[in-house]
Each structure stands twice: as structure tokens, then as C-alpha cells.
Amino acid sequence: MKFLRQTFESFRFAWQALRSNLLRTLLSLLGVTIGIFAIIAVFTLVDSLEGSIRTSLSFIGDKVVYVQKMPWSFGGEYQWWKFFQRPEPKYSEYKFMSERLENAQAVVAMSFKGRVTVKRENNSMSSLIQGTTLDYNIISDVPIDNGRYFTQQEIDVARNVAIVGSDVAENLFPGEDPVGKTFKISGLNFTVIGVQRKKGESLLNVGGNPDIKCLIPYGAFAKMFNSINPNLTITVKGYDTDEGLLELESEIRGLMRTRRGLRPAQDDNFAINRPEAAAQAIGGIFAVLTVAGWVIGGFSILIGGFGIANIMFVSVKERTNIIGIQKSLGAKNYVILFQFLFEAVLLSLVGGLAGIFLVYLLSFMSLGSLELVLSASNVALGLGVSSAIGIISGIVPAFSAARLDPVIAIRAK
């Protein structure tokens, strides 16, 4: 009860100090507010980006390797003029590797064609068309919400069937069950055999937003598009170990070089790309952002800490007479120390809560496919940093107040 009474009394003193000098207090706490906002906003952004990347990797598949013409660029000089002269991967190379790769769970050939108008009666929309082979559902997550996946026969004979994204189904077949119905891709009839569950666009959606995509057999795709603009990608799924993935990359490189007849002294004329490499590159950017957030926030918090310390020194001077009376009535030094330290922490927490509230408002903003989420751990971090700043800023004024001589303090004006 004694502790609770002292805490309540300290809270009352702190609240009175806050109300009596409201403008001065708010200006002093502005530094803490900006500092906590900068730090927690950066941490929230980084956590949200990492969560989006993890979600994307679950969609496009983990331990997946893409054999393509052009490498993905993650810094440094990008020699596009050199890569542009490389030959495109061929379907025969896909067949060659699918028959010989020993360290692969699945090998898939796929191609993309964007901005293709798909129609059904009076309904139409711009869609992304992807041609693929049978094992695509092993490479990537293909959650069928309605209908079924391809059969081997449909892939082998290049039948005009399609698995459509949720947005395609909603736009072309509003209020209807699309499965078994036909629609047109580039003027050709395709039958819907499945509808994917809505995924939403994410950061690393290789091949684009799955909700506006139509999956069709690779043979059907090649007949419509690849004769004009071949853009085949060979995708290989490795086993769930880093060692197995390294062996897989070495095996792919050896088979591709053999197939293309490259001599030992010649450079690769193909690229082996991995989504994990993109995630690691982005992770390096996250680290820089985190450091920048701490630096910017640290300077602001430092200024705010000096402001709180100034408030506390002024508060000690204004309440010197009251401190003398308290000590003459038997108040211990630790009671006076606790009062002023509590006041400093409370003031700092007010600034910290204001910064966290600004981040919370920021989380309602739309950043494309990125959803900002203010986590409980980041809230706790903000409150912890605020409390630490309050303790550091208030400890010296609190000690000076606790060590005042009661006789001298009572005579103070």
C-alpha cells in the first residue's frame, strides 16, 4: 500500500508538472516523439517487407532455381549488352535436363505473356498468360479453390484448358461457377478446369500477380505466342538442403554447358537465378535501413533526452521548498528520487506513445502490395527505449533533488 501510495503521489506530481508547463513540455518531448517514430517506423517497414518476402517465397517455391537468358541484378555493373546476345533457353534443353538431372525433385518449362485480353461474351480483361508443364504445382504453390489441376494427357496433347486466377474468374464469370465453361485467349477457346484461391500481389511474385493469371499447358502457349517471341524459363526444384541445392546448381551448369557445346574456357551463356538470392540482397538493404533508423532516431532521442533533463532540473528548482517540507516530515531520499525519476519516465513515455501512435496511423496507408503491420514486439521496443531515455535523462536531476538538505530547501524561494 505504501508503494502504491508513493506511486500515485509521483504520478500526481508528474501530471501537475505536465499541465502547468504544457507548451514547454510538448516542445521538449517532440524530440522523443520523432526519435521513437523514426525507429519504430523503420522496424515496422523492415518486418513487413520480410513477412511479404516469406509469403512470396511460399508462393513461388523454396529451393527453386531458374535457368534463364538474363541474370537478376543485385548491384554492381549490369552488362546487359553482353547478356542480350545470349540465346534463349529452348524446350529441347528443358527435355534434356528433365531426363538427366539427378538432384531435382521437378523440372518445369514455363513461359509468360502479359497484357493479353481474355474474353467471355461481353466480359473481358487484360490477363497474364503462363504456359507450363505438369510439375508446376511441385515447383510453386497452386491452391485450387474450385475444380482440379492439369492431367498428364492434357499437357502431352497441349489441350486448350486453363486454370484461372480469382480475379479472372470474377471478371469473366460474375456470379457463375467457371469450371467447365469456355472463354477466349487471343481468339482461341479455352475450357476452365480450375480456379485458384485468391493470393494477392506480393513482393517477389515471379511471373506477376497470380490473381490475374491464366495457367495453360506449355504446348498450347507455344502454338499461340512462342513462335513470335520465345521466352522460355526452365525452373528446377531442388531438395530441402543447402548442400543439395549447390549440387543441383553445379549439375544444371554442367548439363547446360554440355548441351550448348561450350568449351572449358568459354563463359556461361545462360543465367542461374534463385529467389533466395533476391531475398538476401533485399535483406542487406533492410540492414542499412535499420542502421539509418537508429541513427536518425538516436539523434532525435538525444535532443529529446536533453529536453526532458532540462524540464526535470527546472522542476527540481521550482519544487525545492516542497522537497524540503517532505524531507522534514520524514520522507526518505529514495522517495524523492523515485518521484522525480517516475516523472521523467512518464514524460518520456508520453513522447514515445505519441511516436508509436504516428506509426500506427502510418500502418493504415496503402503501399501497393505491402501491408504495414505494427507488431507487439515493436510497440514493446518503443516503450522500452522511451523508458530508458526517461531514466537516463531524469537520474541526475532526481539525485540532486534527493540529496537536498531539508533546512536549506525549506528556506529556498
User: Final residue of a domain: which of 228, 246, 269?
Assistant: 269
Domain, as residue range, for 187? 87-269
Q: How far apart are CA 184 and CA 120, in angstroms?
A: 6
In a domain, 152, yes or no: yes
Q: How far apart are CA 46 and CA 59, in angstroms?
A: 20
Q: What is the pLDDT of residue 398?
A: 83
Q: How far apart are CA 20 and CA 49, in angstroms?
A: 43
In a domain, 64, yes or no: no
In a domain, 291, yes or no: yes
Both 106 and 215 in one domain: the answer is: yes
Nearest 5°: phi and psi at 87? Answer: -75, 150
In a domain, 391, yes or no: yes
Both 220 and 107 in one domain: the answer is: yes
Question: Which of 218, 176, 177 shows the shortest CA–CA distance to 194?
Answer: 177
Contact (Cβ atoms closer than 8 angstroms) between residue 104 and residue 238: yes
DSSP secondary structure code for residue 62 in this structure: S
- The pTM for the full model equals 0.63
In a domain, 384, yes or no: yes
In a domain, 68, yes or no: no
List the Cα angle 228/114/173 in 5-degree steps.
Answer: 120
Contact (Cβ atoms closer than 8 angstroms) between residue 308 and residue 391: no
In a domain, 343, yes or no: yes
Nearest 5°: phi and psi at 115? Answer: 55, 45
Q: What is the pLDDT of residue 283?
A: 66
Q: What is the pLDDT of residue 366?
A: 64
Q: What is the pLDDT of residue 319?
A: 74
Q: How many domains does the chain have?
A: 2
Both 223 and 98 in one domain: the answer is: yes
Both 244 and 321 in one domain: the answer is: no
Q: What is the pLDDT of residue 149?
A: 95
Q: How far apart are CA 25 and CA 45, in angstroms?
A: 30
Contact (Cβ atoms closer than 8 angstroms) between residue 407 and residue 324: yes
Q: What is the pLDDT of residue 141?
A: 81
In a domain, 254, yes or no: yes
Q: What is the pLDDT of residue 93?
A: 92
Both 185 and 308 in one domain: the answer is: no
User: Final residue of a domain: which of 269, 290, 316?
Assistant: 269
Q: What is the pLDDT of residue 53?
A: 66
Both 50 and 97 in one domain: the answer is: no
Q: What is the pLDDT of residue 345?
A: 85
pLDDT in tens, the chain (413 residues): 565 666 666 666 666 666 666 676 777 778 888 888 888 888 888 777 777 666 665 555 567 888 988 887 655 566 767 788 888 899 999 999 999 988 888 999 999 888 889 999 889 999 999 999 999 988 888 889 999 999 999 999 999 999 999 999 999 999 899 999 999 998 899 999 999 998 766 555 555 678 889 999 999 998 888 665 567 889 999 887 666 778 888 899 999 999 999 888 888 888 888 876 666 666 667 777 778 777 877 887 888 888 888 878 877 787 777 777 777 777 777 777 877 888 888 888 888 898 889 888 888 776 655 677 788 888 888 888 888 888 888 888 888 887 877 777 776 65
